Chains A and B, each alone.
Chain A
Amino acid sequence: MKIVVCVKQTPDTAATVTVEDGRVSWGDSPLVLNPWDEYAVEEAIKTKEAHGGTVTAISLGPERAQEVLKQALAMGADEAVLIHDQAFEGADVGVVSVALAMAVGKIGEVDLVFFGRASVDSAAGLTFAQTARHLGWPLLSQVAAIEELDPSAGKLQVVRLLQEGRQIVGSPLPAVVSVVKEINEPRYPSFMGIRKASKAEIPSWGATELGLEAALEPRVIWPSITQPAKVETTCEFIDGESAAEKGRRLAQRLIEEKVI
């Protein structure tokens, strides 16, 4: 099987995010592999372990995004590719998904593309869907389990996690799968993986290598970003002998404060 997993480098979720000069800043907080993508990498590796084949991790980002590709390699991905080009600066989800789809095409004969559910920074949660659309492949999202996978017959059956419950969906291959955290427990990189990853040379593909003839224009731009004003809140506890008593007192307070 040829499996691809798409990953992104994001700030650590523990970072304090501020706005400086209309731009988002996370100070000197470390950059990490997007936590949602860890589940995707793990599922890609598990699928390879079960069915044989290779896992290629790809990421669209600046040079430093190589660090998260190395994380994926250390976890057990076989290859990694960085998609990097001046032309991709300021890219919106639309541009990213075209580039990712072309990279998948360039890798060739791919059976499955894994994504996490969203990135923790821009959190559009759309990249997997748009990439599937550009590839023209079925998209399976909110996937909590892969129930059946038959690479030779080209069939896949998954469990999707919905608000209403669990949904079983079948699909032909190739397909794009976006996973949720219920699907697995991401492994730690092994020391052997760390050794191999630190030695790995990661190729970089630019617009030309991807076969993009014309520049891609983002259709979504962020003209300015502001931080909402900090709201000072006070907390008042409503006491009472019983729930009914507390309810009466709360209603009283809400009327007094002219909320209702």
Chain B
Amino acid sequence: MDFSLTEEHLMVQKMVRDFATKEVEPTIRQWDEKAEMAPEVLPRMAELGILGISIPVRYGGQGMDYISLGLACEELEAVDTTLRVVMSVHMGLNSMGLLQWGTEDQKQRFLVPQARGERYAGFCLTEPGAGSDVAALRSTARRDGDAYLLNGEKMWISLATKAHNMLWFAKTDPDSDDSHNSISAFLLETDRPGVTSGDIHGKLGVRAGSTGWVNCQDVRVPVENRIGEEGEGFKIAMSCLDNGRYTVASGATGLIRASRDASVRYAKEREAFGRPIAQFQLVQQKIALMSQSYEMARLLYLQAGWRKNQGLRNTKETSMAKWFATDASFEAASEAIQVHGAYGYSNEYDVERYLRNARGAIIYEGTSEIHTLIQAGYALGLRDDAELRSELPAYDPELWQAETSEAIPVA
């Protein structure tokens, strides 16, 4: 078993780390305090190709593998969660969903500009009244000739006011008893008449980001914008979550590392009772536990990334990685504050921001409670991964890096 990262992986890791630490880190505290997204973040991530990192070159992307995506997310979130949230919605939930489920025409129309960073992408599943209970969503999509009319409200949507393209989930058959098979997915361009959006303020964390609501009032979308078949929406949403969760897991791993590294730095400098606090065993224990969590979280997400590269179903592994890493990152950040003492309680240091940011990830992309039930389901044989009509493409360096306009053959 080869656990090493390739030269390519190491260079990707360094490049993303350099970008985040040089260009975002210096001012991130101010933007977090202002509760605004720094305006240059999205354009720079677009310019550097990060927004298309694990999409084939022929679809406008950079042709790197899924492990590179994970490494990039780890580096981004080590600086701030809001950078990784961009990747979660733009790449994980939306773009990879198009890569898996879109027709060739849809890939050309939507995925290519997204991968190039010319359009920002988001994911509209959650509603004010439906979070964990996805099947209870109330947005509707009524067929009207060669179009659908979308009505509904989505909430807690990242990049709500910034994304051009939203993957929107609504019931094409709202009166059906079978709620799991009555949902369909659509690619909604947010500049269509009838689409409104706004920002949500007052969040505990992820404040330097963009979270909001999106509302559709009789929005007309052509049939060509429906992703997958009518009634496939639930399955599509779940498979998109396999990719979104992967970015959350890898990002939270970066947060654990950031908490650990901050604690190590502080413990070496701060003195009490005549010596650096790094010499006290209870401080050492906190740091050791953070290292333990980091190594575990890292192995879990890399394994999930490896499975994606191989074209293997990874719902179980991604869920396990996300569940573990997010819970662990909250604990690590909390202990990092403790290591910092009173200074940890002040926004003069980063660790309080890590804690506030970490708390959100335990809720979104599947609450820890949902993941507990998922894993129990697998362990008890109550849950089976049925084959999907369309699987996430395996990584093939030659196919993905070839500069051509031919479609990638779908198995």
Contacts and interface: CB of A to CB of B under 8 A. Distances in A.
Interface of A: 67, 70-71, 74, 188-192, 194-195, 197-198
Nearest to B397: A195
Contacts of A67: 7
B53 A191 contact: yes
A206 B276 CA distance: 49
Contacts of A197: 7, 11
Interface in B55-77: 62-64
B269 to A, nearest CB: 14
B8 A188 contact: no
23 contacts: A70-B11, A71-B11, A74-B11, A188-B18, A188-B48, A189-B15, A190-B49, A191-B12, A191-B15, A191-B53, A191-B62, A191-B63, A191-B64, A192-B49, A192-B62, A194-B8, A194-B12, A194-B15, A195-B8, A195-B64, A195-B401, A197-B7, A198-B8
B19 interface: yes
Interface string B1-45: 000001110011001001100000000000000000000000000
B7 A188 contact: no
Contacts of A195: 8, 62-64, 401
Given A195-B63, A195-B401, A198-B6, A189 B11 contact: yes
A71 B64 CA distance: 17
Interface string B274-293: 00000000000000000000
Contacts of A191: 12, 15, 49, 53, 62-64
A233 to B, nearest CB: 15
A191 B9 CA distance: 10
A198 B7 CA distance: 6
Contacts of B49: 190-192
Given A70-B7, A195-B62, 11 more contacts: A74-B15, A188-B48, A190-B48, A190-B49, A191-B12, A191-B62, A192-B49, A194-B12, A195-B401, A197-B7, A198-B8
A67 B176 CA distance: 60
A189 B7 CA distance: 13
